[in-house]
């Protein structure tokens, strides 16, 4: 049984414990930032920030709302980045957990193409050309632990477990949250292993909260779609 996350943004207080725990587990440095008029810090994901709590302020029905979105790789079920790379020495799926893993060989890929293929705008390139993103804490998961961000979350916003269990939890919470917030929804639950619940229109949280149709062709890039159609011949012909 593959694994999934359920991220209940209605329980997130933006404490950023998950963001810090991710850096701690992966031994990633802090980033120098400047005040940009928002508590969101740093301003974006980067090759040294795999998890970012995005924060926006919105007036909805004459009330100010703080919307928090702990952003990370969705570990897509059919990952467009993997389909686009077409090189399992660089990007592969761990069949046991469902994690989409990037290796040092991503430095040999066309970074722009890979980044452009991601419907959630996740991968970032490091100075050495390697691409970086969340790895599902796959080393922890294989050793019976939960991802660092889940372990540290004090409110229950971050959850992790078998996919069936997470989908059931997500649907249960959606039913409850919809009673107070009719616009509440699960984001792309059939396509991803990181299932978010938002109380408001997801576009208010972050431009890439749900997969944008403009970037996709049936869920994958055009190049990836051609590669998939041609199957093993594509690799031989280097399509």
HSE toward the beta carbon, residue 139, CA cutoff 13 A: 5
- Candidate list 122, 186, 195, 210; residue touching ligand SF4; CB under 6 A: 122
Contact between 81 and ligand SF4 per CB under 6 A: yes
x/- mask, ligand SF4, residues 133-172, rule CB under 6 A, reads: xxxxx---------xxx--xx-x-xx--------------
Contact between 93 and ligand SF4 per CB under 6 A: no
Contact between 101 and ligand SF4 per CB under 6 A: no
Contact between 67 and ligand SF4 per CB under 6 A: no
Give me the least distance between CB of 155 and ligand SF4, in Å please: 4
Q: Which stretch binds ligand SF4 (CB under 6 A): 18-26, 33-41, 174-182, 231-239?
A: 18-26
φ, ψ for residue 232, nearest 5 deg: -60, -25
Between 4 and 185, CB nearer to ligand SF4:
4
Write the CB contacts of 44 (distance below 8 Å, at least 6 apart in sequence). Answer: 52
Between 17 and 189, CB nearer to ligand SF4:
17
Q: How far is Cα 20 from Cα 52, in angstroms, rounded to an integer?
A: 9
Contact between 118 and ligand SF4 per CB under 6 A: yes
Peptide bond into 197 cis (omega under 30): no
Count residues near ligand SF4 (CB under 6 A): 40
170: helix, strand or coil: helix
CA distances (Å), origin 182, targets 46, 177, 201? 34, 8, 10
Q: How far is Cα 111 from Cα 216, in angstroms, rounded to an integer?
A: 17
Virtual CA dihedral for 69, 75, 78, 81, nearest 10 degrees?
90
Binding footprint of ligand SF4 on the chain (CB under 6 A): 12-18, 21-22, 25, 50-51, 53, 70, 72-76, 79-81, 100, 118, 120, 122-123, 133-137, 147-149, 152-153, 155, 157-158
């Amino acid at each position: 049984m593959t694994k999934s996350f359920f991220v209940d943004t209605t329980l997130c207080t933006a404490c950023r414990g998950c963001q810090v725990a991710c850096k701690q587990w992966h031994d990633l440095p802090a980033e120098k930032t400047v005040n940009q008029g928002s508590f969101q810090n740093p301003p974006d994901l980067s090759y040294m920030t795999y998890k970012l709590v995005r924060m926006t302020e919105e007036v909805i029905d004459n009330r100010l709302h703080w919307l928090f979105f702990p952003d990370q790789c969705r570990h897509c079920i059919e990952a467009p980045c993997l389909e686009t790379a077409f090189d399992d020495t660089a990007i592969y799926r761990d069949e046991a957990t469902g994690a989409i893993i990037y290796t040092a060989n991503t430095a040999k890929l066309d970074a722009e193409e890979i980044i452009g293929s991601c419907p959630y705008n996740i991968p970032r390139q490091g100075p050495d050309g390697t691409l970086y993103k969340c790895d599902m804490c796959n080393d922890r998961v294989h050793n019976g632990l939960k991802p660092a961000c889940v372990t540290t979350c004090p409110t229950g916003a971050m959850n992790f477990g078998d996919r069936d269990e997470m989908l059931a939890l997500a649907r249960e919470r959606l039913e409850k949250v919809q009673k107070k917030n009719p616009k509440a929804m699960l984001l792309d639950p059939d396509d991803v292993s990181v299932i978010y619940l938002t109380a408001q229109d997801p576009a208010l949280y972050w431009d890439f909260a749900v997969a944008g149709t403009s970037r996709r062709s049936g869920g994958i890039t055009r190049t990836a779609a051609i590669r998939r159609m041609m199957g093993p011949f594509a690799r031989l012909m280097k399509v």
